[in-house]
Structure 1
Amino acid sequence: MHPKLTLKTFALGPWQTNCYVIESTQSTMKDCWIIDAGYDPQPMLQFIQASGLSPVKVILTHAHLDHIAGLHEVRRLWPKVPILIHEMERDFLAEPELNLSAMMDEPVVAPPADELLKHGQNLELYGQIFEIRHTPGHSPGGITLYQPLLKTALVGDTLFARSIGRYDFPTSDGPTLMQSIRDQLLTLPDDTAVLPGHGPATTIGNERKYNPYLRE
């Protein structure tokens, strides 16, 4: 990450969902972003509290249950922190059939979004601009947060190390997923770090070369 920002990863819950905290390296700056809030978010929340950080945004890469189940606990600690999600998934947060939690014993009904995101929108943290790239396929409103100076892309469940997101869910679509990867991710520089929603980090170059799903 850029010397002004640092990123902490937390693999949370039964699906080991990667959730991220982005903060400043300067101790006097305490604003932070939360990227996704999965099941059992206590390790992430405890880190934020122990570090004296103040979340100013919760940005959701998409609204499947394992990325939103911790939102109520985030809001319990920080009632006014805004939740941001792509406009195509505004209804997913409160609808278990859409967020895929209807199959679970405890369906997830998350708090509503405060801001709806669009492709090409920019978000700023400590002078660093993160570009919102709409990367549907795994879900209709999946997004990637791309920061060119940091050479970092937080891709949700669109792309993984040596794999790609599932597209067998009711609101998923395989061809759309592949188009998102080709048009929005593989167009990034090879040295771009890929931070996925599950599993280890990788790079665009590694996936271009070794990912079996991306071979022509």
Structure 2
Amino acid sequence: MEHLVTSGTFSLDGGTWEVDNNVWLVGDADEVIVIDAAHDDSKIADAIGTRRVVAVVCTHAHNDHINAAPALADRTGAPVLLHLDDRLLWRQTHPDRAPDGYLSHDRRLTVAGTELVVLHTPGHAPGAICLYAPHLGTVFTGDTLFHGGPGATGRSFSDFPTIIRSIRDQLLTLPPDTVVRPGHGSSTTIGAESADLQKWIDRGY
């Protein structure tokens, strides 16, 4: 695994905010999958080098997670993959360029002998996904789960009870020592986040 931070803006519902995004590369010396091509396709391409890009995977379609995806795909020849339920959000940023394929829950992606399992985790966005790599003991959570709690749900296309159910059903069932690698900020573990999240579950979400 490799980790980059790229910087730019996030825009939705008439507001714009400066953000730093985590970009994750999973693979080996020959091939990689890029998770969330944010802001700077040149910086990401430099990190990839001469390796083959199996796919550019979007954990959801907020503009700060997808704004560099088409350009990176054009550079590398890799397909851009997104969950079907986020196609409307995608069109807000890229109205003239569709994703190359759509992801669904429990789909398996393989890179360099490592399997990534797609977990559909709506709430922050309708088509939000996480990618679980059991052999690496890690889950890439996009904006579904952070160090400190669930992703934001105060804007269009989001819903707080839905994100709590997604975390309860798809993430808190993973081993407690699973490392959570989010779309922004520092990493954490499922175990470290579970106690705080349990309070929302106990309230009936």
- Which TM bucket (shorter chain)? 0.7 to 0.9
Structural mapping, 1:1-216, within 5 Å: 7-14=1-8, 15-24=19-28, 27=29, 30-49=30-49, 52-78=50-76, 80-96=77-93, 109=95, 111-209=97-195, 211=196, 213-215=197-199, 216=202
**Structure 2 equivalent of residue 3 of structure 1:** none
Unaligned runs of 5+ in 1: 1-6, 97-107
CA distance change for structure 1 residues 41 and 214 in 2, over 3 Å: closer, same or farther?
A: farther
State the one-letter code of the partner of 1:71. A
Aligned counterparts of 2:187 and 2:131: Cα–Cα separation in 1: 15
Q: CA RMSD in A?
A: 1.6
Aligned counterparts of 1:37 and 1:149: Cα–Cα separation in 2: 23
Q: CA deviation at 1:91?
A: 3.3
Aligned counterparts of 1:109 and 1:36: Cα–Cα separation in 2: 18
The answer to which structure has the higher strand fraction is 2
Secondary structure, counterpart of 2:158 in structure 1 = coil
Aligned counterparts of 2:198 and 2:67: Cα–Cα separation in 1: 31
User: Which runs of structure 1 show a deviation greater than 6 angstroms over 4 or more consecutive aligned residues?
Assistant: none
State the one-letter code of the partner of 2:52. S
Aligned counterparts of 1:214 and 1:65: Cα–Cα separation in 2: 30
The answer to which structure has the higher helix fraction is 2
Aligned counterparts of 1:162 and 1:93: Cα–Cα separation in 2: 27
Secondary structure, counterpart of 1:58 in structure 2 = strand
Task: Name the count of aligned residue pairs.
Answer: 190
State the one-letter code of the partner of 1:31. E
Q: CA deviation at 1:214?
A: 4.0
Aligned counterparts of 2:175 and 2:82: Cα–Cα separation in 1: 26
Aligned counterparts of 1:48 and 1:74: Cα–Cα separation in 2: 10
CA distance change for structure 1 residues 183 and 94 in 2, over 3 Å: closer, same or farther?
A: same
Aligned counterparts of 2:161 and 2:36: Cα–Cα separation in 1: 25
Identity of paired residues, percent? 36
Aligned counterparts of 1:111 and 1:197: Cα–Cα separation in 2: 23
Q: CA deviation at 1:109?
A: 4.5
Secondary structure, counterpart of 2:45 in structure 1 = helix
Aligned counterparts of 1:202 and 1:39: Cα–Cα separation in 2: 24
